[in-house]
């Protein structure tokens, strides 16, 4: 069956249920930056791998690339250290964590200053248990010292992992560190791996409520690895939990489906677009993890897609809604913040096709099935978000939105912008409609 049986399509009205986030004022939009784990993991042999071991040079190189290669301008602004940055033991006198003396000879504060001079902030990694996942010192009851250390160093975010700790104590240990952070002068965004360690990734609402009260974002699924299978599993998982996640996701508190693989070896170009499309409509943290010194232009273009980033950074920060699914196809929509009080909202529509055989698929849905009845407008401008300089077409609420979607994990993403009544398109939108006659 090529065309969808749209009669079984479900429209889920966007319900905003306010659930309070930790009110540290940070991350009112999802964080954007770079995190070393996926690509560089825990390689500490700098003799054999001088350009890709975990050391000061690596993070400085990434700060440079972010500052100089256009990433900063589109919103990526934090370079995040992951595991394996420390000495194997705390300072015996002060009990402070110490950066590896060979690999970070000038310490983390120096790295933070290097970043600040380039308008790039630095994030750091620690673990809520006795050891980090790779065996370096964990918090181990040093919340106060560590929060103070991080604050003094000036890091802007902390990823708190959950290895070597009792999961049933997370509801004390993670909040304890949040309280320690609150005592510091410097405000630090707090990423909690807490729900990622809960069995079967099945986290009840009351636990997510506590997580949201304590954390700015939270990993809640298996570590991503550099393969399409891994991305697909995350998409299916986020689809299966969509109703729950929508309730908790929003400014100040974000579900984190893990790093962007884009620019590494595991995804094809279409699959890379698909990951960026999903992370954007989910308003998920955009954490790159490619070697930005060697990335090729087609992947850089995806990561720097301003249209997608503006969807991701939409001020309402809604998690998109899964409105239709089969084994091969999913349709998601995201309501964007209205341009002004009382104005109708634009919607983003994503068609996703995961079947790994055959030709690209023409998928079509009636616009009236994509946008809730209470909100639908008579006409929309349709923008392809990977080629948004021109309007694809004008579509009425009675028409079908038909898009050709690449197979094997491809997707298409468009924005539907309401045409205001009495608006004369060809006078008011001259720029965007330059090429409209070509269609």
Residues that bind its own copies (CB under 8 A): 2, 38-41, 43, 45, 48-49, 52, 225-230, 264-271, 356-360, 362, 406-410
Q: What is the DSSP string of 114-146?
A: HHHTTT-EEEEEEESSSB-TTSSB--TT-HHHH
Those residues with Cβ within 8 angstroms of residue 187's Cβ, 6 or more apart along the chain or in another chain: 24, 25, 26, 156, 181
Those residues with Cβ within 8 angstroms of residue 20's Cβ, 6 or more apart along the chain or in another chain: 212, 213
Q: What is the DSSP string of 201-220?
A: G---HHHHHHHHHH-SEEE-
Beta carbon of residue 266, minimum distance to its own copies (angstroms, whole number): 4
Q: Beta strand 157-161 with 189-192: parallel, antiparallel or unpaired?
A: parallel
Nearer to its own copies, 241 or 412 (CB): 412
Beta carbon of residue 328, minimum distance to its own copies (angstroms, whole number): 12
Of 222, 223, 387, 434, which residue is the catalytic one? 223
Of 83, 146, 161, 258, which residue is the catalytic one? 161
Whole-angstrom distance, CA of residue 363 vs CA of residue 313:
27
Whole-angstrom distance, CA of residue 139 vs CA of residue 161:
10
Beta carbon of residue 51, minimum distance to its own copies (angstroms, whole number): 9
Residues in the chain: 439
Nearer to its own copies, 56 or 156 (CB): 56
Nearer to its own copies, 15 or 359 (CB): 359
Beta carbon of residue 355, minimum distance to its own copies (angstroms, whole number): 9
Nearer to its own copies, 131 or 364 (CB): 364
Beta carbon of residue 63, minimum distance to its own copies (angstroms, whole number): 19
Nearer to its own copies, 360 or 384 (CB): 360
3-state secondary structure of 8: helix
Nearer to its own copies, 51 or 202 (CB): 51
The answer to whether residues 336 and 346 touch, using CB atoms and an 8 Å cutoff, is yes
E-only strand ranges, 8-58: 32-35
Beta carbon of residue 17, minimum distance to its own copies (angstroms, whole number): 37
CA angle 413, 419, 424 (to 5 degrees): 130
Nearer to its own copies, 339 or 356 (CB): 356
Q: Beta strand 217-219 with 400-405: parallel, antiparallel or unpaired?
A: unpaired
E-only strand ranges, 38-156: 78-80, 121-127
| Residue appearing with tokens 């693989």 | 261
Whole-angstrom distance, CA of residue 313 vs CA of residue 27:
10
Whole-angstrom distance, CA of residue 300 vs CA of residue 30:
20
| Residue appearing with tokens 């489906």 | 257
Annotated catalytic, 161? Answer: yes
Q: What is the CA radius of gyration of the chain?
A: 22
Whole-angstrom distance, CA of residue 161 vs CA of residue 129:
8
Beta carbon of residue 419, minimum distance to its own copies (angstroms, whole number): 29
Nearer to its own copies, 324 or 353 (CB): 353
Question: Distances from the Cα of 179 to the Cαs of 23, 71, 158, 341, 362, in angstroms?
Answer: 12, 33, 14, 36, 52
The answer to whether residues 223 and 288 touch, using CB atoms and an 8 Å cutoff, is no
Beta carbon of residue 50, minimum distance to its own copies (angstroms, whole number): 12
Give the residue numbers marked as catalytic.
161, 223
């Amino acid at each position: 069956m090529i065309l969808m049986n749209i009669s079984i399509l479900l429209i889920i009205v966007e319900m905003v249920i306010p659930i309070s986030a930790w009110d540290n004022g940070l991350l009112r939009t999802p964080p954007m930056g770079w995190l070393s784990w996926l690509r560089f993991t825990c390689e500490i042999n700098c003799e054999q791998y001088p350009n890709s071991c975990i050391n000061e040079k690596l993070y400085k190189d990434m700060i440079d690339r972010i500052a100089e290669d256009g990433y900063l301008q589109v919103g990526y602004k934090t370079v995040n250290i992951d595991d394996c940055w420390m000495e194997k033991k705390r300072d015996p006198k002060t009990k402070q964590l110490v950066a590896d003396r060979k690999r970070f000879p000038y310490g983390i504060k120096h790295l933070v200053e290097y970043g600040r001079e380039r308008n790039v902030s630095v994030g750091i990694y620690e673990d809520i248990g006795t050891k980090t996942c790779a065996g370096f010192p964990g918090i181990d009851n040093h919340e106060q010292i560590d929060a103070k250390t991080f604050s003094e160093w000036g890091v802007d975010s902390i990823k708190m992992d959950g290895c070597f700790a009792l999961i049933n104590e997370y509801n004390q240990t993670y909040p304890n560190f949040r309280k320690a952070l609150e005592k510091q002068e410097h405000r630090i965004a707090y990423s909690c791996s807490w729900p990622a360690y809960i069995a079967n990734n099945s986290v009840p609402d009351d636990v997510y409520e506590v997580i949201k009260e304590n954390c700015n974002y939270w990993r809640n699924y298996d570590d991503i690895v550099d393969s399409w299978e891994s991305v697909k599993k995350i998409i299916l998982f986020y689809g299966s939990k969509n109703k729950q996640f929508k309730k908790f996701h929003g400014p100040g508190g974000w579900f984190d489906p893990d790093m962007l693989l884009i620019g590494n070896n595991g995804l094809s170009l279409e699959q890379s677009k698909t990951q960026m499309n999903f992370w954007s409509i989910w308003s998920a943290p955009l954490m790159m993890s490619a070697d930005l010194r060697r990335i090729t232009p087609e992947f850089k273009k995806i990561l720097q897609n301003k249209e997608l980033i503006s969807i991701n950074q939409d001020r309402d920060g809604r998690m998109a809604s899964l409105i239709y699914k089969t084994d091969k196809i999913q349709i998601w929509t995201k309501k964007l913040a209205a341009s002004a009080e009382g104005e109708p909202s634009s919607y983003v529509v994503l068609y996703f096709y995961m079947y790994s055989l055959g030709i690209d698929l023409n998928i079509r849905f009636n616009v009236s099935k994509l946008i809730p009845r209470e909100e639908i407008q008579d006409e929309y401008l349709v923008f392809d978000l990977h080629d948004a300089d021109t309007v694809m077409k004008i579509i009425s609420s009675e028409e079908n939105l038909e898009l050709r979607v690449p197979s094997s994990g491809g997707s298409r993403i468009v924005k539907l912008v309401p045409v205001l009544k009495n608006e004369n398109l060809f006078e008011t939108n001259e720029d965007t409609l330059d090429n409209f006659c070509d269609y």
